[in-house]
Amino acid sequence: MGNGGSISVKEATKVYDPDGAKVLALDRCSLEIGPGEFSVVVGPSGCGKTTLLNAIAGFHELTAGEILLDGQTLSSPGKPAKPGSDRIVVFQNGALFPWMTILENVAFGPLAQKKMTVPEAREKALKTLETMGLTLIAQDYPGQISSGMRRRAEIARAMMCEPKVLLLDEPFRALDALTKIVAHQFLMEVYDAQKPTVFFITHDLDEAIFLASKVYVMTTRPASIKKILDVTLPRPRDYRLLASLEYQRLKAECQDAVREEALKAFSAGEREM
Amino acid sequence: MSDTALPGLTAAPSLTDAPKALPPSGLWGRLGGGFSRWLKSSSPWLNLLGLVGFLLLWQLLSRVLKVPLFVKLPGPWETVVEWFSPRPVYGISVFTIEYYQHIGLSSLRVFLAFLLATGLGVPLGLLMGWKKTFSDYAFPILELLRPIPMLAWVPLAILMWPGRESSIVFLTFLGSFFATLLNSWLGVKSIDPAYFRAAASLGASESLIFKKIVWPGAMPFVFTGLQISVGYAWFSLVAGEMLAGEFGLGYLIWDSYILVQYPVIIIAMITLGLVGSLSSFIIRAIGNALIRWKVKENG
């Protein structure tokens, strides 16, 4: 792709329930994500990572500050947030429509946007499934396939829209270790092929460093950016990297930063949001 | 934390894999696929044994022991003889036209009322579940009207509607309407909010979201509601027919009571049970045909 996809978050602030409990979820959080960058956000549970993702996705408005995509304002106070097919979200618990086959799910985006006719969307969906190695499950319903397959199909559905930005909210959280490895490789292949800007939330530091071009460590709530790590490991990446010295160094650095915040969150009695 | 991404560990079955629901139980449920399997198991014999035991107990209590509570009840044997007699003593058997006129008219009333209740209840329930403003308007009225027992509507029904026929259909409609409405509403509420976000994120318009998310997502609940509501429809129908009918199974039961034709009461009751099951079976079959994804999910 490579056609844009830079995100700037400027002093983003979000207060939940401003008339009542006034929960400050984001506090003047700023970050710049370059086009085609694979950014991974780590931080303690409930720190506001998902709040930031939802603001970029356009699911809710900011209380203050703004978010720009390629210089265009996506979200600012007073400008009602709107989801757009240039930013597709892959959800924490998966959101493939259970009443549609995988093929129908994958073809949904272009049809919903009226960019393609049914046969065109079908053909492209089949091609996408084929390049992603998912042809065998095209006619299955999501309930019939494994959770690892479902995550991959959901990423395929997102990529069908050729989004500038792919937003993933702990997509592999519930997968077992082996399935996770396969899912990581899958996501890396998809990324290397299309180079969308990626905004990926996780708790898992191995996952973060293995996937990322940049790791953003967030503070405990109210969230802001604590540390940015450049991950210069070469691409395409492979699991042998996990044994390399550079990887160990990055992980130690990352761990130190996260540990501090996790302890703060723990002593504050933070719960999952 | 570090070993979560290392290969070589045994793969535990994922916790998020959808739990497989149990296959539908009961005779009607089994008719769907594993009928021959059911036939080969011990179930049909146990079913039969239970039924025969029930009939024997009935015969014993009412005719052999003549227990005071049951002595006025016609025995199963005389009921069956009357039911299948070409020349029935009380004029109602499978060989008389009247029998089918009663069934036909009751079924027609239920069908009309059910159609109306579905046509109004499903769209209204879906809209209420989908749009908060809509449910804000409608909720208080519905919560006020819903708990009123159907029988309390009888005088109004007779006052409001011209003729018996429309008042009976109205009462039957009321019985089934609220169950349909409530289940359709719950159906939308049961849809994972992530589906709405996903659809919006993928660029779906409001009308497309209704067509592709609200409607199919609520469908399993809607059909559960329809099965309940058709039961309520029969319930209300009998009450309506007893009070205002000139024909129909409910009327037949009451009329036979007044005319001391007790076996006919039992015949009409069993007939109600049979047509009731048949109607709910038809709805389940239609539901299963429309909700293929759910059927496949459950294996």
Q: What DSSP string runs through B40-83?
A: HSSHHHHHHHHHHHHHHHHHIIIIIS--TTTTTSPPHHHHHHHH
Residue A25 lies in a domain: yes
Q: What are phi and psi of B131, to 5 degrees?
A: -110, 120
Mean of per-residue pLDDT scores for chain B: 86
Task: Identify the CA nearest to A122 among candidates A103, A141, A140.
Answer: A103
Assess contact for A142 and A97: CB atoms under 8 A.
Answer: yes
Q: Answer yes or no: do B293 and A100 touch at CB < 8 A.
A: yes
Half-sphere exposure of B170 (CA within 13 A, CB side): 18
Return the pLDDT at B257: 93
Residue A167 lies in a domain: no
Assess contact for A70 and A5: CB atoms under 8 A.
Answer: yes
A97 touches chain B (CB under 8 A): yes
Cα-to-chain-centroid distance, residue B83: 26
- Indicate whether this complex's ipTM tops 0.85: yes
d(CA A102, CA B253) in angstroms, rounded, equals: 54
Q: Is A4 helix (H, G, I), strand (E, B) or coil?
A: coil
Return the pLDDT at B119: 97
Residue A253's CATH number = 3.40.50.300
Residue corresponding to tokens 């008219």:
B105
Q: Which residue range(s) make up the domain with A231?
A: 1-83+196-273
Residue B184 neighbours by CB under 8 Å, 6+ apart: B121, B122, B124, B125, B126, B128, B129, B218, B221, B222, B225
Residue A158 lies in a domain: no
Q: Is A130 helix (H, G, I), strand (E, B) or coil?
A: helix
- Which residues of chain A neighbour B294 with C-beta distances below 8 Å? 98-99, 143
Q: Which of A144, A146, A181 sits opposite B14 (nearest CB)?
A: A146
Assess contact for A13 and A64: CB atoms under 8 A.
Answer: yes
B13 touches chain A (CB under 8 A): yes
Q: Which of B5, B15, B199 sits opposite A180 (nearest CB)?
A: B5
Residue A3, judged by CB atoms within 10 A of its CB (0-12, 13-18, 19+), counts as exposed
Return the pLDDT at A20: 78
CA dihedral A138, A142, A148, A154 (to 10 degrees): 70
Top pLDDT among B171 and A25 is at B171
**Quick check: B12 pLDDT over 90?**
no
Residue A113 lies in a domain: no
Residue corresponding to tokens 């025995």:
B75
CA distance A94 to chain B (A): 8
CA distances from B259 to A187, B70, B84 (A): 79, 19, 21
Complete edge-to-edge strand list for the sheet that includes strand A64-69: A23-33, A7-16, A64-69, A72-75
Strands, E, within A112-205: which ranges? Answer: 165-169, 197-202
Q: How many domains does chain A have?
A: 1
A141 touches chain B (CB under 8 A): yes
**CB atoms closer than 10 angstroms to residue A34:** 13
Q: Answer yes or no: do A99 and B217 touch at CB < 8 A.
A: yes
Task: Give average pLDDT by consecutive 10-residue segment, chain A, 273 residues.
Answer: 76 84 84 92 82 89 88 81 87 90 94 92 92 90 91 92 92 87 89 92 90 89 82 84 88 88 75 46
Top pLDDT among A222 and B194 is at B194
Q: Is A195 helix (H, G, I), strand (E, B) or coil?
A: coil
pTM: 0.82
d(CA B103, CA B83) in angstroms, rounded, equals: 14
End-to-end CA, chain A: 34
B207 touches chain A (CB under 8 A): no
**Quick check: B10 pLDDT over 50?**
no
Whether omega before B23 lies within 30 degrees of 0, making that bond cis, reads: no
Assess contact for A163 and A102: CB atoms under 8 A.
Answer: no
Q: Which of B14, B192, B199 sits opposite A175 (nearest CB)?
A: B14
Task: Identify the CA nearest to B22 among candidates B281, B299, B217.
Answer: B299
A91 touches chain B (CB under 8 A): yes
Residue A108 lies in a domain: no
Task: Identify the CA nearest to B237 among candidates B124, B122, B119, B154.
Answer: B154
**Quick check: B299 pLDDT over 70?**
no
CA distance B226 to chain A (A): 20
A175 touches chain B (CB under 8 A): yes
Read off the DSSP letter of residue B214.
I
Q: What are phi and psi of A133, to 5 degrees?
A: 70, 30
B126 touches chain A (CB under 8 A): no
Residue A14 lies in a domain: yes
Residues 17-46 of chain B with CB under 8 A from chain A are 17-18
d(CA B169, CA B233) in angstroms, rounded, equals: 9
Chain B interface mutation, best of A97, A180, A239, highest count of B Cβ atoms under 10 Å:
A97
Q: Answer yes or no: do B197 and A88 touch at CB < 8 A.
A: no
**Averaged pLDDT, B25-45:** 69
Each residue of B87-128: pLDDT tens digit? 999 989 999 999 999 999 999 999 999 999 999 999 999 999
How is residue B280 written in tokens?
A: 């709910």
Chain A interface mutation, best of B15, B16, B196, B211, highest count of A Cβ atoms under 10 Å:
B16
Q: Answer yes or no: do B17 and A146 touch at CB < 8 A.
A: yes
B12 touches chain A (CB under 8 A): yes
Q: Answer yes or no: do B1 and A141 touch at CB < 8 A.
A: no
d(CA A86, CA A1) in angstroms, rounded, equals: 12
How is residue B129 written in tokens?
A: 């579940």
Name the CA radius of gyration of chain B, rounded.
Answer: 25
How is residue A64 written in tokens?
A: 């203050």
- The pLDDT confidence band at residue B71, using thresholds 50, 70 and 90, is confident
